[in-house]
Amino acid sequence: MSIPQSFIQELLARVDVVEIVGRYVQLKKGGANFMGLCPFHGEKSPSFSVSPSKQFYHCFGCGKNGNAISFLMEHAGMTFVEAVKDLAQQYGMQVPEDDASPSERARASEQRQKQVTLSDVLEKACDAYKKHLKSSHKAVDYLKGRGLSGDIAKQFGLGYAPEGWRSLASVFPNYDDPLLAESGLVIASVDEGSGEEKRYDRFRDRVMFPIRNVKGECIGFGGRVLGEGTPKYLNSPETPVFHKGRELYGLFEARHALREHGYVLVTEGYMDVVALAQLGFPNAVATLGTACTPDHVQKLFRFTDSVVFSFDGDAAGRRAARKALDGALPYASDVRSVKFLFLPPEHDPDSYIRAFGKDAFARYVSEATPLSRFMIEAARDGCDLNTAEGRAHLASNARPLWSQLPEGALKRQLLGEIAELVQLNSRELSEVWNGPAKAGKTDGAHGGKRYNNDSYQRIQDEGYSPKKPSNFAPRARPGGRTAPASRADHAARILLTNMAAWDSLSNEDRSMLCELPQPHGPLFVWLESQLHEHGAQPWAALREGLRDHESEALALRTTASFEVPMAEEPAPDDTASELRGLLDLMQDDRLKRMENEALARNDLERYGQLHHQRLALGKAKSSSAGT
């Protein structure tokens, strides 16, 4: 049975690895992650870490790591297909079987190529809009009037769409190309009288905001009209590469700032995002003309554990916040923070900061309304708690909201708080909502299916012997083929077959790998984007994602001469040290090359800095080898 890669990616996007692992392992919060005793080897001190933001687990003792699928395969002894089916059943998804014919596979390949082509078309339009901005005094004056600098405009790739009906004809000589309509750049309509097709630019006389996915690819645009035209803001339509309900404006630009600031600020428009970045809050994103969806919230929690929604304080802002609450409740676990910020009606984030200062806005954000309080406010809206009818109304309003929360301490506390407001105890309120508990009914949130959480007991049992990893030695290929020769090949092989190891690399290591010349650099750039977008994946999933990618041949070559660990085969204990040794050698080579370049330029100061850096690297390697 072959399972489509798109389904595997969607499944991993919905699954919470903390929840899956927590059914077998007793986990405790430790910083940004959860810690527990490793279920794969015997230990007395917890070294097993589960990351909710990156959606993977890693043991610092035995080196085991992976995602929710690989955990079930390694710990529960399931096959890949069994693990996927088990998770899909738990999350209410139907596993499709990919028994596609050659013609269907060809169409799928054509569709993937079309997505690449559409992104190329959008990038070309983006470059044209940026050039038009430089020559439009009207657009430049508007941006300056909003307090934006040239650097911020460049950072976000802002542009300008001229007033003409067919301005893009100068950018795309074949203005009748169907790709222009499919990408949303051009509107094609049929004249009712003549029956002839008419084409014209969708965006005219607008400041342009390119919308990028988490990989940095342009997938659409938002346009702000200059003058009195309508609509004030216009987005690209839904296309094969752009889905409003899944994408967030500014997430690509804010991805590093989210980790530095510790939270994401969700605003209502592109201008809010750009203006906040200008004023010292580069951790802002915006929805794209739609209410905040669960997909939006889930994507944000890939990058941070704290989300603050910012809305206007008027009735419309409250309605938007209520919709955001619905999207956030299923992900409001005990280790995450969701807050709601309501600005005074006369202010947006930009005007508030300019009026009261950056520190005042930061303080305002820190005092935002927690999800727990806003949920109860939403439930009691319109309820007179001085009457029995009003309290019953509150209980009725609160039930669908409370039910969406994941199991945990927050959910239990809110049950008690709601019960107190309706003048019942927690047990009585539960009975009102769910009916009296039946004798012998199994406890749990998964249809009575029970999961053993026995890692502590097994480790303490005297006869316990951890399962030893299978051999993972390179094997010779028929015809005398040997292992990949270059260090970059070896690094690619390790990271492709042990993707979670990428997260243990320093920023310097990642930059060095991504900046390697072709063919290795693009492969590492793709690998990093996959980790950000989908979390750690087994080689089988990566293999599917690489089909028709420029790095497919390199990936297959570097893994062909080795026993590739599918998730059911444990990775070797010394993988991390092997990778570290390779990267140290590659860094040493890189520094030597840069030293020679500095000498060639007669830049002795730069040479001294690089030489000192290389000596420090050598000392660190020696120290590590001696421990």
Type and span of the H or E element at 598: helix 575-600
Do 491 and 619 lie in one domain? The reply is yes
Q: What is the pLDDT of residue 107?
A: 66
Residue 130 lies in a domain: yes
The β-bridge relationship of strands 218-225 and 197-201 is: unpaired
- Mean pLDDT (the chain) is 82
Q: Tell me the average pLDDT across 186-200.
A: 84
> Of 104-108, 159-163, 353-357, 593-597, which gets the smallest average pLDDT?
104-108
Q: In this structure, are 27 and 11 located in the same domain?
A: yes
Encoded tokens for 375: 């949920």
- Asked if residue 240 is part of any domain, the answer here is no
In this structure, the answer to whether residues 154 and 255 fall within a common structural domain is no
Output the pLDDT for position 570. 39
Give the whole-angstrom CA distance, residue 64 versus residue 501. Answer: 10
Question: Which domain CATH number covers 257?
Answer: 3.40.1360.10
Indicate the range of 140-149, 190-199, 215-224, 471-480 predicted with least confidence: 471-480
pLDDT at 473: 40
Q: Torsion angle of alpha carbons 28, 31, 37, 43, nearest 10°?
A: -140
Domain count, the chain: 5
Domain-located, residue 245: no
CATH of the domain at 111: 3.90.980.10
Once rounded to an integer, what is the mean pLDDT over residues 239-267? 89
Q: How far is 599 from 576, CA to CA, in rounded Å?
A: 35
Structural domain of 214:
107-235
Same-domain status, 26 and 144: no
446 or 304, higher pLDDT: 304
Same domain assignment for residues 347 and 331: yes
Q: In the listed set 235, 262, 294, which residue is the last one of a domain according to the structure? A: 235
Q: Determine how β-strand 218-225 pairs with β-strand 233-235.
A: antiparallel
pLDDT digits 0-9 by tens, 113-142: 767 788 899 999 999 999 999 999 999 999
**Helix, strand or coil for residue 105?**
helix
Identify whether residues 26 and 73 lie together within a single domain.
Answer: yes
End-of-domain residue from the set 62, 91, 120: 91
Inside any domain, residue 25: yes
Instruction: For residues 199 and 310, state if they share a domain.
Output: no
In terms of domains, do 117 and 62 share one?
A: no
Task: Of 193-202, 260-269, 467-476, give the lowest mean pLDDT range.
Answer: 467-476
**What is the model's pLDDT at position 456?**
35
Higher pLDDT, 577 or 582: 582
Q: How many CB atoms lie within 10 A of CB 139?
A: 25
Where does a domain end: 235, 261, 290? 235
Which residues contact residue 506 at a Cβ distance below 8 angstroms, ignoring those fewer than 6 apart? none
pLDDT at residue 563 is higher than 50 = no
Residue 76 pLDDT level (bands cut at 50, 70, 90): low
User: Peptide bond before 572: cis, by omega within 30 degrees of 0?
Assistant: no
Residue 241 within any structural domain of the chain: no
> What's the pLDDT tens digit per position in 327-376?
999 989 888 899 999 998 888 898 899 999 999 999 999 999 999 999 99
Tell me, yes or no, whether 616 and 500 share the same domain: yes
Give me the pLDDT at residue 529, please: 73
In a domain, 510, yes or no: yes
DSSP string, 496-516: HHSGGGGGGS-HHHHHHHHTS
Mean pLDDT of 396-403: 95
Q: Check residue 624 and give its pLDDT.
A: 53
Which of 302, 125, 126 shows the shortest CA–CA distance to 214?
302
Higher pLDDT: 230 or 358? It is 358
